[in-house]
Amino acid sequence: MKANIYTTEGKVAKSIELPESIFDAKWNADLVAQVINAQAANRRAGTAHTKDRSEVSGGGKKPWQQKGTGRARHGSSRSPIWRHGGVTFGPRNDKSYKQTIPRGMKISALYSILSAKVKNGKVLFVETLAETSGKTKDAEVVMKNLSKIEGFKTLTYKKVGNVYMTTEKGSDTLKRSFRNLSYVNLHNMEDLNPLDIANARYLVITNPEAAIEYLSGKKSVK
């Protein structure tokens, strides 16, 4: 299974042999969904909090007597059915959304979604990104050149998270040059995960040889 590696000018530099175990894995929708949902849950801040009737201030006095008024009986003005009352079944910050997913499942889901992206023509392999001056215009030039490659015309589409780009641990100037491009998320290749790949339309892998070596190593470590 071969793929082209492009330069930052959008020209073919060479080809690379992709491991079938990583980029031609069988699609497992149930596994991918389970891992993605777990990762999304683990990213929840869990800071949303509503007060129940015991935490809302006031309401200590019975609004009116039980009988004889012709109105419905109420024991507290802080009941959930009252205005300014407590909230029933609202979000609580004492709830943990954390889910544990076995390492083998995470790796299998990663390989599965990488294979799906490759089959759909949404993965672009690029040579190592050269050092930039840290200015956004340098990153824009690179992205415009890559968008000229056949099949990647909408690479520069102004949608948040349109492109997930991986690179080796680069300098701060390189990350700073892509920081202001809202449609590009630049991360180290060690941060590759099913959730971010699924949320992005395109996956751009720079320095593919190192990335493949890293992905292959994940499979062998237990």
Non-local CB neighbours of 67 within 8 Å, separated by 6+ positions? 73
Specify whether 86 is located in the same domain as 104: no
Query: What are 189-218's pLDDT values in tens digits?
Result: 899 999 999 999 999 999 999 999 999 887
pLDDT score recorded for residue 1: 83
Q: Looking at the 3D structure of the chain, how many domains does it have?
A: 2
Average pLDDT in the 20-35 region? 95
Query: Is residue 81 domain-shared with residue 130, that is, in the same domain?
Result: no
The pLDDT of residue 133 is 73
Name the DSSP letter for residue 154.
Answer: G
Indicate whether 76 and 133 sit together in one domain: no
Which pLDDT value is given to residue 220?
55
Q: Give residue-wise pLDDT tens across range 106-131.
A: 999 999 999 999 999 999 999 988 77
State whether 146 and 164 are in the same domain. yes
| SS3 of 69-108 | CCCCCCCCCCCCCCCCCCCCCCCCCCCCCCCCCCHHHHHH
Question: Could you tell me the pTM of the whole model?
Answer: 0.82
131 shares its domain with 186: yes
Range of the domain at 203: 2-44+100-220
Residue 21 scores a pLDDT above 70: yes
75 and 112, same domain (yes or no): no
> Is residue 115 domain-shared with residue 86, that is, in the same domain?
no
- % residues pLDDT > 70 (the chain): 97
Residue where a domain terminates, one of 96, 113, 131? 96
Q: pLDDT band at residue 95, thresholds of 50, 70 and 90?
A: confident
The pLDDT score that the predictor gives to residue 31 is 97
Q: Is pLDDT above 60 for 82?
A: yes
pLDDT in tens, 130-189: 776 778 998 999 999 999 999 999 999 999 989 999 988 877 788 888 988 999 999 998
Q: Same domain for 82 and 183?
A: no
Is the pLDDT confidence value at 57 over 60? Answer: yes
136 shares a domain with 38: yes
Three-state DSSP at 204 gives strand
pLDDT of 196:
95
Domain CATH number, residue 210: 3.40.1370.10
Based on the fold, state whether residues 76 and 121 are members of the same structural domain.
Answer: no
The three-point CA angle 36-183-212 to 5° equals 55
Report the chain's mean pLDDT, rounded to a whole number: 91
In terms of domains, do 38 and 147 share one? yes
